[in-house]
Amino acid sequence: MTSSILEELRAAVIEGDTEKSMTFAKKALESNIPPLDAITKGLAKGVKEVGDLFSEGEVFLVELVMAGDAMKAGMSVLLPAIKESKTEMTSPGKVMIGTVQGDIHSIGKDIVGTLLEADGFEVVNLGEDVASDVFVEKVKEHKPNILGLSSLLTATMPAQKDVIKKLKTAGLRGDVKVIIGGAPTTQEWADEIEADGWAGDAVSAVKLVKQLIKS
């Protein structure tokens, strides 16, 4: 019974079916499956599979977004149960992500956040069009291991540089690793603005985060 519910959770994410994800998340709780198992052995498995297929060019961005939405739907049922039972999810680290000022694109950043959550990371998503000073304030407040700055417009790329500059001025640059991403960005740009890394897609971003956490 347990394995079939976990399998249905995995399948719901792969199918991008939010209703099915929530239904089987509830069934998992009714069947006394630990909510952490439902996440790691069910939902997260599905997201990882779709993420791998996306990186191999086997599925499209829309399917990755749908998988992320289905996982979030299931998580909305399971996370309150985890908090209630005070089960601690041992997180490998805390990652803060946001889209820089002047840019309202969210899909790429949100997929990165979902994939990181699937791997057990604590994710603080600041949203879109985030001012440089807000990034600095939130780094002070949340003390993340890694800050991810997304920019999908060439015109907003200088804001990534500005955030790094302001972190230095605030004396916080040594406390947080900064990674950047977004369609117009490159490794050369990351080097120029003294970021700690660059990722061209969501799957690479997760790999980069893991590498930086280890180091």
Parse the chain into domains and list their residue ranges.
Answer: 2-85, 94-214
Confidence at 183, pLDDT banded by 50, 70, 90: confident
| pLDDT, the chain, mean | 91
How many CB atoms neighbour CB 189 within 10 A? 17
pTM of the model: 0.71
Sheet holding 122-125, edge to edge: 122-125, 94-99, 146-150, 177-181, 197-199
The yes-or-no verdict on residue 2 having pLDDT over 90 is no
Q: What is the mean pLDDT of residues 186-207?
A: 94
- So what's the pLDDT on residue 117? 83
The yes-or-no verdict on residue 93 having pLDDT over 90 is yes
CATH number 1.20.120.530 is the correct assignment for the domain at 2-85: no
Superfamily of domain 94-214: Cobalamin-binding domain (3.40.50.280)
Ranked by mean pLDDT, the top range of 24-28, 33-37, 58-62, 85-89 is 24-28
- So what's the pLDDT on residue 51? 81
Q: What is the mean pLDDT of residues 36-45?
A: 87
Confidence at 80, pLDDT banded by 50, 70, 90: confident
Q: Which of 171, 163, 169 is nearest to 196 (CA)?
A: 163
Domains 2-85 and 94-214 share a fold: no
- So what's the pLDDT on residue 25? 97
Q: Which of 141, 155, 60, 55 is nearest to 104 (CA)?
A: 155
- So what's the pLDDT on residue 201? 83
Q: What is the mean pLDDT of residues 74-84?
A: 84
Measured distance CA(126)–CA(128) in Å, rounded: 7
Cβ atoms 83, 35 nearer than 8 A: no
> Coil, strand or helix: which one is 41?
helix
Q: What is the mean pLDDT of residues 137-158?
A: 96
- So what's the pLDDT on residue 86? 60
